[in-house]
Amino acid sequence: MEEHESHGTHVFLDYTGYAYDEPEQGRWMLRLMRDAVAKAKAREVHAHVSSFDGSVSPLGFAAVVLIDESHVTAHCYSERGWLAIDCFTCGESDPNVMADYIHERLAETMPHLELKQRNEVRRFLHGA
Give catalytic residue positions: 70, 75, 90
Between the two ends of the chain, the Cα-to-Cα distance in Å is 11
Burial of 112 (0-12, 13-18, 19+ CB in 10 A): exposed
Spatial distance between the Cα atoms of 9 and 36, rounded to a whole number of angstroms: 16
Q: What is the dihedral of CA 22, 55, 78, 85, to 10 degrees?
A: -110
Spatial distance between the Cα atoms of 27 and 25, rounded to a whole number of angstroms: 5
